[in-house]
Chain A
Amino acid sequence: MTRTLLSRTRASQPDEETKQTTTISSGGTAMRVIVPLQGVVQGRGGLFLGSVIPCALFYFLQLYLRRKHRDDPNDQDDPARDPNAPSPSGSAGKLAELSGFPRNSSRNLLSPRSPRGPVFLSGRVNGIVKSADSPYYVGLKKVLEDPYDEAGNPNGVIQLGVDENKLTLDLVKEWLVENAKGAILGGGGEGEELSISGIATYQPSHGLAQLKVAVAGFMSQIMENAVSFNPSLMVLTAGANPAIEMLSFCLADSGNAFLVPTPYYPGFDWDVKWRTGVEIIPVPCRSADNFSLSITALDRGFNQAKKRGLKVRGIMISNPSNPVGNLLNRETLYSLLDFAREKNIHIVSNEIFAGSTHGSEEFVSMAELIDSDYLDRDRVHIVYGLSKDLSLPGFRVGVIYSFNENVLAAAKKLTRFSSVSAPTQHLLVSLLSDTDFVQKLIKNNRERLQKTYATFVAGLKQLGIECAKSKGGFSCWADMSELINSYSEKGELELWDKLLNTAKLNVTPGSCCRCIEPGWFQFCFANLTERDIPVVMDRILKIVNVCKASS
Chain B
Amino acid sequence: MAIEIEQPSVGLSKVAVSETHGEDSPYFAGWKAYNEDPYDESSNPSGVIQMGLAENQVSFDLLEEYLEQHSEASSWGKGSPGFRENALFQDYHGLESFRQAMAGFMEQIRGGRAKFDPDRVVLTAGATAANELLTFILANPGDALLVPTPYYPGFDRDLRWRTGAKIVPIHCDISNNFQVTTQALEAAYEGAVAMNINVRGVLITNPSNPLGVTIQRSVLEEILDFSTRKNIHLVSDEIYSGSTFSSSEFISIAEILEARGYKDSERVHIVYSLSKDLGLPGFRVGTIYSYNDKVVTTARRMSSFTLISSQTQHLLASMLSNKKFTENYIKENRERLRKRYEMIIQGLRSAGIECLKGNAGLFCWMNLSPLLETPTGEGEVALWKSILHEVKLNISPGSSCHCSEPGWFRVCFANMSEETLEVALKRIHNFMEQRKTASS
Contacts and interface: CB of A to CB of B under 8 A. Distances in A.
Given A111-B264, A121-B138, A242-B305, A250 B162 contact: no
A390 to B, nearest CB: 9
A166 B57 CA distance: 39
B144 to A, nearest CB: 12
A176 B198 CA distance: 52
Contacts of B291: 109-110
Given A102-B119, A119-B267, A422-B284, A270 B83 contact: no
A76 B198 CA distance: 10
A172 B88 CA distance: 12
A123 B140 contact: yes
Interface string B150-170: 000000011000101000000
Task: Kindly name the residue among A70, A254, A345, A394 whose own CB sees the greatest number of chain B CB atoms within 10 A.
Answer: A394
A199 interface: yes
A121 B294 contact: yes
B60 A197 contact: yes
B98 interface: no
Interface stretch (A353-361, A408-416, A514-522, A542-550): A408-416
A169 B232 CA distance: 48
Interface string B390-430: 00000000000000000000000000000000000000000
A251 interface: yes
A345 B10 CA distance: 6
A177 to B, nearest CB: 6
Nearest to B139: A122
Interface stretch (A179-187, A211-219, A226-234, A492-500): A179-187
Interface string B70-108: 010011110000011011111001000000000000000
B312 A424 contact: yes
A173 B85 CA distance: 11
A128 interface: yes
A391 B8 CA distance: 41
A450 B215 CA distance: 62
B318 interface: no
Interface string A116-144: 11111111110010000000000000000
B261 interface: yes
Contact of B87 (A92, A378, A391): A391
A200 B87 contact: no
Contact of A251 (B12, B119, B198): B12
- Which one of B263, B281, B284, B300 has the highest number of Cβ atoms from chain A below 10 Å of its Cβ? B284
Interface string B4-25: 0101111111111100010100
Contacts of B21: 410, 413
Interface stretch (A93-101, A281-289, A295-303, A434-442): A93-101
A182 B283 CA distance: 17
Contact of B136 (A109, A275, A414, A424): A275
Contacts of B187: none
A245 B304 CA distance: 11
Interface stretch (B40-48, B125-133, B203-211, B362-370): B125-133
B212 interface: no
Contact of A73 (B9, B198, B292): B198
B308 interface: yes
Contacts of B186: none
Given A122-B137, A422-B282, A393 B88 contact: yes
A379 interface: yes
A394 B82 CA distance: 13
B279 A344 contact: no
Interface in A53-96: 66, 70, 73, 76, 84, 92, 95-96
Contact of B312 (A66, A76, A423): A423
Nearest to B281: A202
B64 A128 contact: no
A95 B294 contact: yes
A445 to B, nearest CB: 14
B125 A125 contact: no
A423 B309 contact: yes
Contacts of A446: none
Contacts of A176: 75-76, 83
A453 to B, nearest CB: 20
Nearest to A250: B16
Nearest to A107: B293
A187 B306 CA distance: 30
Given A105-B117, A250-B15, A414 B162 contact: yes
Contact of A173 (B84, B132, B300, B307): B84
A422 B13 CA distance: 30
B315 interface: yes
A238 B265 contact: no
B312 A421 contact: yes
Nearest to B11: A313
B297 interface: yes
Interface residues of A, number: 99
Contact of A406 (B17, B90, B93, B312): B17
Contacts of A118: 266
Contact of B284 (A177, A184, A250, A419): A419
Contacts of B228: 114
Contacts of A271: 305
Contacts of B261: 111
A438 B15 CA distance: 38
A394 B88 contact: yes
Interface in A410-468: 410, 413-414, 416-424, 427
Contacts of B232: 119-120
Contacts of A17: none
A419 B126 contact: yes
Contacts of A406: 12, 16-17
B416 to A, nearest CB: 11
A103 B10 CA distance: 50
Contact of A122 (B64, B67, B140): B140
A194 interface: yes
A418 B140 contact: no
Given A200-B283, A201-B57, A345-B10, A238 B306 contact: yes
B298 interface: yes
B141 A254 contact: yes
Interface in B271-315: 279-285, 291-298, 300-302, 304-312, 315
Contacts of A345: 10
A318 interface: no
A235 interface: no
B68 interface: yes
B14 A200 contact: no
A173 B297 CA distance: 33
A166 B88 CA distance: 8
A109 B67 contact: no
B29 interface: no
Contact of B308 (A84, A102, A396): A396
Interface in B206-223: none
B120 interface: yes
A239 interface: yes
Given A73-B198, A76-B198, A194-B67, 17 more contacts: A66-B196, A92-B294, A102-B119, A122-B139, A169-B88, A176-B76, A177-B76, A187-B68, A202-B281, A250-B12, A252-B13, A313-B13, A375-B7, A391-B87, A393-B90, A404-B10, A421-B283
24 contacts: A70-B196, A95-B294, A96-B293, A101-B119, A111-B261, A125-B294, A173-B83, A176-B76, A239-B90, A239-B305, A241-B304, A242-B306, A249-B16, A275-B162, A275-B305, A387-B90, A394-B310, A410-B17, A410-B21, A419-B126, A421-B283, A421-B312, A422-B283, A423-B312
Interface of B: 5, 7-17, 21, 23, 53, 55, 57, 60, 63-64, 67-68, 71, 74-77, 83-84, 86-90, 93, 117, 119-120, 125-126, 128-129, 132, 136-141, 143, 157-158, 162, 164, 196, 198, 200, 228, 231-233, 261-267, 279-285, 291-298, 300-302, 304-312, 315
Q: Which 3 A-B pairs have the closest CB atoms?
A: A394-B310, A422-B282, A421-B309
